[in-house]
């Protein structure tokens, strides 16, 4: 599940789903939750299946987001499963370990991505990321509503929760995907938030507009400059180790095994996920 960009498309808009691959996202989410109003959810289900089926085989991971387990729509949404070719199922506002059994029974043949977007979901993230859960995302907007706080451009109010989700995912050994950037026209903010997410250990970022996809794809792959620096650093360090030294100076800073591991990680990510053309 090495996805840098996760693009959401309304489940009742198969016309938009058909265009989703044009921006080259790593994954496309057919969304039955927030993108579909309550009155349209029943009609959206067959359209969502149509959209999934049309995208399977198009070189992109196809994901279905159902409504939360506590809602009246969850059972009917999961009754659509299994759907051939589905890469994962997103269960939003995931809060209770007890729901894992119900989700496992309902979500057949695909891993679950847990939406951690409430206070309880974030605080209990370590317990929730078990069993069939193969990934998670942090939903800042719903989290702030649940918290009773205020959303700000600086993200200070979500900094702790954002880090907690990343740490819980690391301990569970699953990828975490970062919050949306609601202002899809503010590319500078998206780049900055994606860079912060990469620094925190997130694997990728949720996208709500095709224009955000190439920004996410670029943000979660080490740049040419980063690769060049890592390569040079490791050459100097390996030479020092061969000479019997545990540390060496490089570009005015001390390099030891921990720093070398960081450099190896840069090269490993780049090798596993080539930069977009």
Please state the rounded mean pLDDT for residues 237-243.
Answer: 94
Does the pLDDT of residue 105 top 90, yes or no?
Answer: no
Integer Cα distance of 64 and 6 in angstroms: 12
3-class state of residue 154 by DSSP: coil
Does residue 275 register a pLDDT over 60?
A: no
Find the Cα–Cα–Cα–Cα dihedral 187, 117, 155, 219, rounded to 10°. -40
Q: What is residue 274's predicted lDDT score, i.e. its pLDDT?
A: 55
Residue 194 has pLDDT above 80, yes or no: yes
Residues 6+ apart with CB under 8 A from 69: 91, 94, 96, 99, 102, 103
Average pLDDT over residues 169-191: 96
Which pLDDT does position 115 carry in this prediction? 97
In the predicted structure, residue 276 carries a pLDDT above the cut 70: no
pLDDT value for 104: 79
Better-predicted residue by pLDDT, 7 or 275: 7
Q: What is the percent of the chain with per-residue pLDDT over 90, rounded to a whole number?
A: 85
Per-residue CA distances from 96 to 26, 91, 129, 200, 245 (Å): 29, 12, 11, 25, 50
162-182 CB burial, b ≥16 within 10 A, e <16: bebbbebbeebebbbbbbbbe
- CA–centroid distance for 96 within its chain: 20
Say how far apart CA 79 and CA 11 lie, in whole Å: 15
| 108-113 CB contacts, 8 Å cutoff, 24+ apart | 108/81, 108/82, 109/81, 109/82, 110/81, 110/82, 110/86, 111/1, 111/135, 112/88, 113/63, 113/88, 113/89, 113/137, 113/177
Q: List, in order, residues 6 or more apart from 245 with CB less than 8 Å away.
A: none
Quick one: pLDDT band at residue 100, thresholds 50, 70, 90?
A: confident
pLDDT tens for each residue of 28-70: 999 999 999 999 999 999 999 999 999 998 999 999 999 999 9
Contact 96, 65 (CB under 8 A): no
Q: How far apart are CA 198 and CA 190, in angstroms?
A: 12
> Which element (helix H / strand E) includes 242?
helix 224-242
Distances, alpha carbon 129 to alpha carbons 111, 174, 253, in Å: 12, 8, 38
pLDDT score, position 277: 45
> What's the pLDDT at 196?
96
Do residues 51 and 8 make contact, with C-beta atoms less than 8 angstroms apart?
A: no
pLDDT band at residue 201 using 50, 70 and 90 as cut-offs: very high
Determine the 3-state secondary structure of 208 from DSSP: coil
Output the furthest CA–CA distance in the chain (Å, rounded): 71
Least confident of 93-107, 162-176, 236-250: 93-107
Does the pTM exceed 0.75?
A: yes
- Tens digit of pLDDT for each residue in 107-143? 777 899 999 999 999 999 999 998 789 999 999 999 9
């Amino acid at each position: 599940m090495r996805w840098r960009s996760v693009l959401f498309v309304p489940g009742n808009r198969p016309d938009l789903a058909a265009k989703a691959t044009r921006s080259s996202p790593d994954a496309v989410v057919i969304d039955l939750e927030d993108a579909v109003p309550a009155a349209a959810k029943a009609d959206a289900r067959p359209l969502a299946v149509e959209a999934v089926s049309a995208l399977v085989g198009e070189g992109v991971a196809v994901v279905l987001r159902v409504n939360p387990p506590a809602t009246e729509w969850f059972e009917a949404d999961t009754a659509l499963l299994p759907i051939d070719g589905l890469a994962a199922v997103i269960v939003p506002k995931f809060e209770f370990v007890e729901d894992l059994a119900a989700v496992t029974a309902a979500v057949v043949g695909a891993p679950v991505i847990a939406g951690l977007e409430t206070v309880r979901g974030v605080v209990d993230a370590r317990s929730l990321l078990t069993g069939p859960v193969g990934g998670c995302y942090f939903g800042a907007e719903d989290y702030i509503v649940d918290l009773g706080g205020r959303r700000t451009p600086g993200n200070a109010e979500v900094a702790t929760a954002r880090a907690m989700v990343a740490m819980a995912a690391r301990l569970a050994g699953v990828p975490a995907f970062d919050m949306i950037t609601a202002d899809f026209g503010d590319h500078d903010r998206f780049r900055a938030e994606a860079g912060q997410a990469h620094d925190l250990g997130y694997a990728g970022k949720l996208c709500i507009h095709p224009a955000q996809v190439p920004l996410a794809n670029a943000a979660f792959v080490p740049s040419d400059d980063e690769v060049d620096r890592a390569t040079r650093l490791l050459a100097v360090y390996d030479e020092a180790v061969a000479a019997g030294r545990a540390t060496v100076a490089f570009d005015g800073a001390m390099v030891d095994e921990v720093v070398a591991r960081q450099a190896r990680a840069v090269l490993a990510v780049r090798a596993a996920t080539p930069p977009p053309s």
